[in-house]
């Protein structure tokens, strides 16, 4: 990450965990001097060690689910307008499979974190909850069915799993990152 000093770095939509929230959090944790820049200044040069951060907010309101902003970042790296950028692991796998950006390499992988699940209140009807979980997990045995396979690929997953409290601890970092980036109010959850 130290090699990013003085470089231009792209982030995806500001409400995307994988394309903006967590990458910015990890850059800040690395104690890099960061400065968010407007996109119209992308072609200006600067000689200082500040990491210039450019946001591509092409998915705002979709929580980064379409991944369009990640491909905007990749396109700017490919054209030489950016030096580096952040994308999610599912987008990276897709890039590797499709071979559309053969000149790019992964130089950093963040620690794992949770950011996607179905959640209910503890008071939710236990029969309905069990039925829903069984229905979702039944899709695992059907993942060779073209419709199920397509839906799973759109979500970037290989199977549905049940998680416990330990798996959900990954949300703590996202909550911390969102508070620091003033995306949520700083109150107890």
* Model confidence pLDDT, tens digit, residues 77-109: 999 999 999 998 888 888 888 998 999 999 998
Q: Is residue 162 very low, low, confident or very high in pLDDT (cuts 50, 70, 90)?
A: confident
Give the number of other Cβ atoms within 10 Å of residue 106's Cβ: 10
- pLDDT in the model for residue 46: 81
Burial 14-29 (b: 16+ CB within 10 A, else e): bbbbbbbbbbbbbbee
Helix (H, G, I), strand (E, B) or coil at 154: helix
User: What is the spatial distance between Cα 181 and Cα 179, in angstroms, rounded to a whole number?
Assistant: 5
* Model confidence pLDDT, tens digit, residues 135-154: 999 999 999 999 998 888 77
Quick one: average pLDDT of 125-142? 94
Angle 37-58-46 from CA coordinates, rounded to 5°: 20
Query: For 14-172, where are the E strands, in sequence order?
Result: 34-37, 51-55, 84-85
Angle 35-58-7 from CA coordinates, rounded to 5°: 30
Question: Poorest-confidence range of 118-127, 129-138, 179-188?
Answer: 179-188
Give the number of other Cβ atoms within 10 Å of residue 81's Cβ: 14
Burial 129-148 (b: 16+ CB within 10 A, else e): eeeeeeeeeebeeeeeeeee
**In the predicted structure, residue 166 carries a pLDDT above the cut 80:** no
Q: Which of 88, 46, 42, 45 is nearest to 64 (CA)?
A: 88
- pLDDT in the model for residue 63: 56
The answer, as to whether pTM is greater than 0.75, is yes
Q: Is residue 27 very low, low, confident or very high in pLDDT (cuts 50, 70, 90)?
A: very high
């Amino acid at each position: 990450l130290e090699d990013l000093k003085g470089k231009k770095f792209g982030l995806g939509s500001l409400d995307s965990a994988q394309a903006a929230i967590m990458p910015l959090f990890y850059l800040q944790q690395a104690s890099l001097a960061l400065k968010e820049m407007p996109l119209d200044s992308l072609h200006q040069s600067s000689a200082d060690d500040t990491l210039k951060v450019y946001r591509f907010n092409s998915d705002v309101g979709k929580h980064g689910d379409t991944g369009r902003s990640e491909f905007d970042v990749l396109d700017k790296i490919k054209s030489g307008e950016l030096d580096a950028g952040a994308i999610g692991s599912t987008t990276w796998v897709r890039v590797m499979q499709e071979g559309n950006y053969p000149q790019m390499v992964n130089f950093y992988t963040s620690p794992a974190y949770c950011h996607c699940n179905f959640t209910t209140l503890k008071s939710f009807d236990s029969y309905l909850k069990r039925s829903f979980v069984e229905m979702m997990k039944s899709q695992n045995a059907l993942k060779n069915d073209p419709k199920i396979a397509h839906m799973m690929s759109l979500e970037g997953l290989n199977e549905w799993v049940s998680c416990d409290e330990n798996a959900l601890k990954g949300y703590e970092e996202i909550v911390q990152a969102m508070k620091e980036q003033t995306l949520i109010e700083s109150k107890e959850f």
